Amino acid sequence: MDKKSIIAMLLAGGQGSRLEGLTRDIAKPAVSFGGKYRIIDFSLSNCVNSGIDTVGILTQYKPTLLNSYIGIGTAWDLDFPQGGVHVLPPYMAEDGVNWYRGTGNAIYHNMDFIDSYNPEYVAILSGDHIYKMDYAKMLRFHKEREADLTIAVIEVPWEEASRFGILTVDENDMVIRFSEKPKQPDSNLASMGVYIFNWPVLREALIEDERESQSHNDFGKDIIPMLFRQGKSIFAYSFKGYWKDVGTLESYYETSMDLLEEEPELDIFDKSFRILSNLDILAPQYIGHEARVSNSIISNDCTILGEVENSILSTGVFIGEGASVKDSIVLPKAVISRKAHIRKAIVGENYHVLPGTMVGGGIFGEPSSRVTLLSHGY
């Protein structure tokens, strides 16, 4: 096999339990987002837009929908004869079944896969972030600095810095300190969970970390701190742009609603960096005689007979006559029956809201703070 310059390993096995009912039946990367997308579309599209043609996708938690959604990567133009997309579930070996115990351990169990491509570099990505990023630029930076490991970072507001893994760097962008959720941060550069490793360095580190019985086998907690202690050259690549971890229901809601800004930071209409997805065959959307739609994103196969304001509707959603949906996110194939009123809510996939239902923050005049989730998994 020809030597590859870089391959990507996409961590998509997380349960995403803080997304509550949205991940009862499906893995977090498979959760619908932004109308027609699923969360993993962003990382996969980033790969193809960055010229990475080989992606291993590590799945574990409830992978059925995710696996069939990914297929062989055709929808992202990633079905290549030498490379392409490979779904990598945990497997049984001589020593028993090896569930992935941590992010590092998941990669450890797939070292043979990576070796088969014999790459110089391995990008470790998360399947649950919303962002558009050209990894080729980060790789160029990694090569220029002759780094062993490059960590993508983003500037976060100082008051939020204590929620993230914070990196402190010197004037050459070399990392001089790590602090996980520091109480008194001395930097506001947060790790995005996007790493480029020299494969031999990562390979050795994974083997060493496995021997460590106390280790969680996690990149952030164990492997990167170990490399730091060993004095490896670790750099921070500063990403300028929009990046969100949609780990909680609130952040999922806020990130979705960002798309409704007048000039959204995340431009899904930009043809030069398209977000690709794998969709069913769908009819056009129909807006009815009595309908009202404003400041909203509406996907194919929707039928809107009622009122939609400041909301995001995924594919195949039905809004009945006299119904209203405001400040809400309605996921694929959900039905909002006639005269139902939904405020500041997330309506899960295939969920049916019965006629006349009134749900959501502020609907009875109380202050509307929390997002309501309506889903089968709630």
Partner 1 sequence: MKNVVGIISGICNSAALESLTKSRPISTVPFGARYRLIDFALSNMVNTGIRTVGIVTPYNYRSVLDHIRSGKDWFLDRKSGGLFFLPGNDRENGGSGSNFVLRDLLENMDFLKKAREEYIIISCSSIVMNIDYREAVSFHQNNDNEVTFIYKDEGFKEGESEGVFFIEQSGDRRVKEIIPGKQRRFNGSDKALLNIVIINRETLTRIVEEYGENGDSDLFDILGEMIDSLRAYALEFRGYAARISSLKNYYNHSMKLLDSRVRNELFMRKNKIHTKITDNPPTRYGEKAEVINTLAGSGCIIDGHVEGSIIFREAQIEQDAFIKDSIIMQRNVIGKDVLLENVILDKFVTIKDGTVLRGEPGNPIIIEKAAVIGPEEGDNEKYNLRSG
Q: Least distance in Å: CB of 55 to partner 1?
A: 18
Among 84, 182, 288, 361, binds partner 1 (CB under 8 A): 288
Kindly state whether residue 158 participates in binding partner 1, applying the rule CB under 8 A. no
Kindly state whether residue 285 participates in binding partner 1, applying the rule CB under 8 A. yes
Among 122, 224, 293, 335, binds partner 1 (CB under 8 A): 293
Among 65, 111, 287, 363, binds partner 1 (CB under 8 A): 287
145: Cβ–Cβ under 8 A, 6 or more apart, which residues? 172, 173, 174, 233, 235
Kindly state whether residue 284 participates in binding partner 1, applying the rule CB under 8 A. yes
Among 279, 338, 339, 368, binds partner 1 (CB under 8 A): 279
- Candidate ranges 34-42, 60-68, 85-93, 200-208; the one touching partner 1 (CB under 8 A): 34-42
22: Cβ–Cβ under 8 A, 6 or more apart, which residues? 16, 31, 249, 252, 331, 346, 348, 373, 375, 377
Q: Report angle CA 202, 147, 145 to the nearest 5 degrees.
A: 165
Residue type, 277: S
Q: Can you tell me which residue has the tokens 């959603």?
A: 317
Q: Report angle CA 47, 50, 53 to the nearest 5 degrees.
A: 55
Among 32, 54, 215, 299, binds partner 1 (CB under 8 A): 299
Kindly state whether residue 294 participates in binding partner 1, applying the rule CB under 8 A. yes
Q: How far apart are the first and last CA of the chain?
A: 48
Q: Least distance in Å: CB of 366 to partner 1?
A: 26
Q: Least distance in Å: CB of 293 to partner 1?
A: 5
Kindly state whether residue 35 participates in binding partner 1, applying the rule CB under 8 A. yes
Kindly state whether residue 337 participates in binding partner 1, applying the rule CB under 8 A. no
Residue 302 near residue 285, CB atoms below 8 Å: yes
Residue 310 near residue 297, CB atoms below 8 Å: no
Could you list the residues that contact partner 1 (CB under 8 A)? 34-36, 262, 268-269, 274-277, 279-300, 308, 313
